[in-house]
Structures are given as C-alpha cells and as structure tokens.
C-alpha cells in the first residue's frame, strides 16, 4: 500500500493533541481538511484509529498499535530535514537562535551587530524564551543554555561559568548592613522568578534563611526584575557581567561570594554544524559572548 505522510502526520498530531481542532491549529490546516485526511487514512488501512467522544479523541487498539511506528516516521522526517539543511554551503539563508530573556536584553543587541557586520547575507530569527527550545525538532538552530545537553546528536561548546549575584541600589544594599554570614540577614526582599521558589532550595544549604515572605514580588520576566531592582524595590538575581554593567546597581553581600555559578553553553545539532552558515553564526556567537 502507498502511505501518504500528510495523512500519517495528521493521525500523529491528532493522537498527541487529543482533538481534531487542536491538531488542525498545530498543523495550520482547517479542521475539515484534517478530518478528511484521517478519514482517508482509516479507509486506506481499513481500520478505525479513533473513537470520537464528546470529551475528545480516544485511540482504538489499532490506533495505539500503529502510533509508535508513526512516531518513528516523524523522527526520520525530522532527521531528513536536518540533513537537507546541512547540505547547504552558502553564507546566506536564515539561522534561528534561542536565548533567554536576560541575554536577549543585555547581550544580543551587541552580538547581533557583530553578526550583521560579519555575515550580512544571513538572516536571523531570534527566539526569546526562558524555556528550552528543541534543536532536534528544529525549534531553533542554535541555543544558549545553562546546562550541557546529554544528547549525542548535539554539539555543545562551553563558553564560561557565570557567577550570579544579588544586585540592588546602593541604598537598598546598605540597608542590610555588613553581615558576616547569610544567616545574619533578616527582612530580605528578593525579586523572584516563581512562587514555588527553587532559589530557596539552592541557597538554604549555603546558610541562607529564606521563605516565601522574602519574595513579595514574583515575575518570570527578567526585564521587569531589572527595572524593579533599579527602582529600589528589591534585590535582583543577575549574572555578574550584566549586573556590573549598570552603575546604578551594586553587588549585595560581596563578602559571601556569588550565590550561584551557572555554566553557559552554546549548542547546535551535529548535522547543522556541518552547514557553513550555521557554523559561521555559531562561531560569531561564541566570540560575542566571550568578548569583554
């Protein structure tokens, strides 16, 4: 039999999304088109793949049995796409870069200026997110990450270990005096990332005594944290190179040393790294991040 990949992909997406409407949005199809594709697949296979319920889609036993093979086909399709992208040896085309918010705000403008001057025919898509983009699924070509990936299909270059400090205005930092140990601090106001605070878990073993009351303002957007710290509304958690770049902010509790040290990695797919334009952008990104 001849299997249409578009039909198989429609089946896979519907199974993963749990409804035709969500699957059609993800595939950028109309719902009737997606329904027709799945109906055509069921007809060609002479099988029923889904039970349609008011609460959504349920895979039939036949659908469950075939799903693993379609998933394997999807992985092969992604690898094929990567291989095609790696064939190109032209210093032109588009390269997508995934970076976190604080790097986008404070590092990428200067680095993009470098990229445009050194590789003007390469177009850039900059994806700004604190979530991890999947390189294997082509959500980005290159990513800046705070951990080393363990996937053998990815190439990673460590840039440096980045000291992380608490920063605030001089008056805010002075208000806490000159403690000799973190357990002497009381009434700290820290600008947090989340209400379920992982920072507390990281700092408690170092002797910091913190609870949720020390994080009265929580936002995942680091640009807002930066502005709030500059207004004296709390201590922000920032990388040393970024925090030291603004004279209106000073390190808090320098005697304790940095509160964290986070590695910075530049990551790309091994097949994409054979592509000249990807390699050019990868190397220029490394130069930009390592520049003083």
173-223 tens-digit pLDDT: 999 999 999 999 999 999 998 877 889 999 999 999 999 999 999 998 999
pLDDT of residue 261: 95
Considering only the C-alpha atoms of the chain, give the largest distance between any 2 of them, rounded to a whole number of Å. Answer: 77
CA 13/CA 176 separation, integer angstroms: 54
pLDDT of residue 93: 86
pLDDT of residue 270: 80
pLDDT of residue 54: 79
Count Cβ atoms within 10 A of the Cβ of residue 54 and give its class: 0-12 exposed, 13-18 middle, 19 or more buried: exposed
Mean pLDDT by 10 residues, the chain (292 residues): 85 91 91 92 91 86 91 84 61 89 95 94 92 73 89 90 97 94 93 86 92 93 96 97 96 95 92 80 94 83
- Domains defined along the chain, listed by start: 5-87 (1.10.10.10), 93-152+263-290 (3.40.190.10), 162-262 (3.40.190.10)
pLDDT of residue 15: 92
Give the count of beta carbons closer than 10 Å to the beta carbon of residue 163: 17
By the 8 A CB rule, do 56 and 14 touch?
no
pLDDT of residue 136: 62
pLDDT of residue 88: 52
pLDDT of residue 85: 62
């Amino acid at each position: 039999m001849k299997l249409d990949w578009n039909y198989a992909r429609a089946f896979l997406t519907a199974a993963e999304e749990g409804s035709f409407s969500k699957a059609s949005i993800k595939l950028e199809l109309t719902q009737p088109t997606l329904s027709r594709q799945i109906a055509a697949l069921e007809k060609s296979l002479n099988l029923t793949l889904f039970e349609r319920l008011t609460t959504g889609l349920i895979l039939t036993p036949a659908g469950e049995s075939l799903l693993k093979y379609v998933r394997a086909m999807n992985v092969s399709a992604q690898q094929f796409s990567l291989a095609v992208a790696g064939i190109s040896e032209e210093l032109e085309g588009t390269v997508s870069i995934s970076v976190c918010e604080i790097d986008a705000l404070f590092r990428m403008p200067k680095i993009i200026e470098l990229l445009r001057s050194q590789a003007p025919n390469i177009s850039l898509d900059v994806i700004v997110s604190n979530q991890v983009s999947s390189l294997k699924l082509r959500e980005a070509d290159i990513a800046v990450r705070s951990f080393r990936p363990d996937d053998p299909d990815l190439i990673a270059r460590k840039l440096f270990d980045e000291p992380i400090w608490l920063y605030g205005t001089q008056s805010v930092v002075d208000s806490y005096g000159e403690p000799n140990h973190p357990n002497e601090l009381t009434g700290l106001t820290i600008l947090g990332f989340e209400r379920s605070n992982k920072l507390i878990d990281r700092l408690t073993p170092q002797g910091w005594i913190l609870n949720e009351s020390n994080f009265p303002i929580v936002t995942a957007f680091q640009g807002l944290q930066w502005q709030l710290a500059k207004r004296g509304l709390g201590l922000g958690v920032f990388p040393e190179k970024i925090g030291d770049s603004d004279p209106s902010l000073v390190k808090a509790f320098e005697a304790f040393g940095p509160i964290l040290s986070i590695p910075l990695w530049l990551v790309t797919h091994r097949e994409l790294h054979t592509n000249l334009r990807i390699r050019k952008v990868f190397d220029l990104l490394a130069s930009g991040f390592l520049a003083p």
